[in-house]
Structure 1
Amino acid sequence: MIKKSLAIAFLLLLAGFAFWNFAMHKEAEIGIEKGEKAPDFTLPSLKGGEDVSLSDFKGKKVLLNFWATWCKPCRTEMPDMQQLQNEHRDIAVLAVNFTSSEKNHKAVEAFADSLALTYPIVLDQEGINAKYEIFSYPTTFIINESGIIEDIVLGTMTKKEMEEKLGL
């Protein structure tokens, strides 16, 4: 009787451990909220050449910024994003332009050139802004090395605020 009770207790313990282990290693749901895995996308690069995907930056912290040339606050924060990228090569800055709201591709290129931006800028004519439910510009997602959204910031950030959000 004692052996049977010990065997049942042992099996329950093993079952509990298996359940706990499964629950702790469960993949995050894909979504656009804190704690969710950021939806992947692939868009054409402003500079031409190969397309750029969010998943290209897996293993790095990512500052994913949604912007437009007509957005004055975007113009204010973009030089800080460039400085951040220059000083911290271990992170990635990725800027998604709301291209369907722009005059044309050349206007976006002229804007980026005027600010000497070298980090990746992609052109969204496919609705990624809508998929991420972007309603105001700039909007920035802070994504960790595993692709999980750690923070969402509406509005302009300073370089110091960007560094704080990225844990730098």
Structure 2
Amino acid sequence: MRATLAMMIIAAAAVLAVFLLRSTSPPSTSYSTARSGWALPALSGHGTVRLADFRGKPLVLDFYASWCTACQTELPEFLSVDKQLGGRVQFAAVDSEENGDGVGFARRYGITVWPLARDVGGSQSSGLRDALESTPGMPITAFYDSNGRVLRVRLGALSGDALAAQITQLYGVSAT
């Protein structure tokens, strides 16, 4: 009886230890979801995507999710505008509140050259998406100036024409 009780205690301690180790992030990894100065894990699982990486050119940051039907329409149009701009404006995308294959989703819609990140804290409403826009809904587009300052945040899908108009208005750059 004592041996069985001891084995149950040891087994429970082992399960608890495994759970605690798996739910703890490595201490060397530091992510931030501040509106300006954010640093998010790369969606590929390797490295970090930081706002500071984009300094020097304006940035369009698109938040998407595989369940978002508007995102499925919006992403290819954003890619088209990006190509028309010829690198004068930077684009990146953040997989928000996603448990699925965010990289596969982005690739399916032609997003292969943009930096892709994962929003941390999204399911707890403490991610970058929520720091930028507290109203629920997807997609969200954030426009940053070349110094990393948020100029505008748009909730809802943007057509390619609407995106190009926003870029012209905010950055003075026209898609050709």
Quick check: TM above 0.5?
Answer: yes
Q: Give the match's secondary structure for 1:49.
A: coil
Match of 2:49 among 44, 47, 52: 52
Q: Which amino acid in 1 is paired with 2:102?
A: V
Gaps of 5+ in 2: 1-33, 122-126, 169-173
Q: Give the match's secondary structure for 1:95.
A: strand
Equivalents in 1 of 2:84, 2:48: separation in Å?
Answer: 25
Q: Which amino acid in 2 is paired with 1:90?
A: R
Which residue is 1:149 aligned to? 150
Task: Name the larger-Rg structure.
Answer: 1
Match of 2:65 among 60, 63, 68: 68
Equivalents in 2 of 1:151, 1:111: separation in Å?
Answer: 26
Equivalents in 1 of 2:119, 2:35: separation in Å?
Answer: 16
The Cα shift of 1:38 comes to: 4.4
Matches within 5 A, 1:30-109: 38-88=35-85, 89-98=87-96, 101-104=97-100, 107-109=101-103
* TM-score normalised by L of structure 1: 0.68
Identity %: 27
Match of 1:117 among 111, 115, 126: 111
Equivalents in 1 of 2:67, 2:75: separation in Å?
Answer: 13
Gaps of 5+ in 1: 1-36
What is the count of residue pairs matched by the alignment?
A: 128
Is this contact kept in 1: 2:103–2:116, CA < 8 A? Answer: no
* TM-score normalised by L of structure 2: 0.65
Q: Give the match's secondary structure for 2:72.
A: helix
4+ residue segments displaced more than 6 Å:
none
Deviates more, 1:144-153 or 1:112-121: 144-153
Deviates more, 1:147-156 or 1:76-85: 147-156
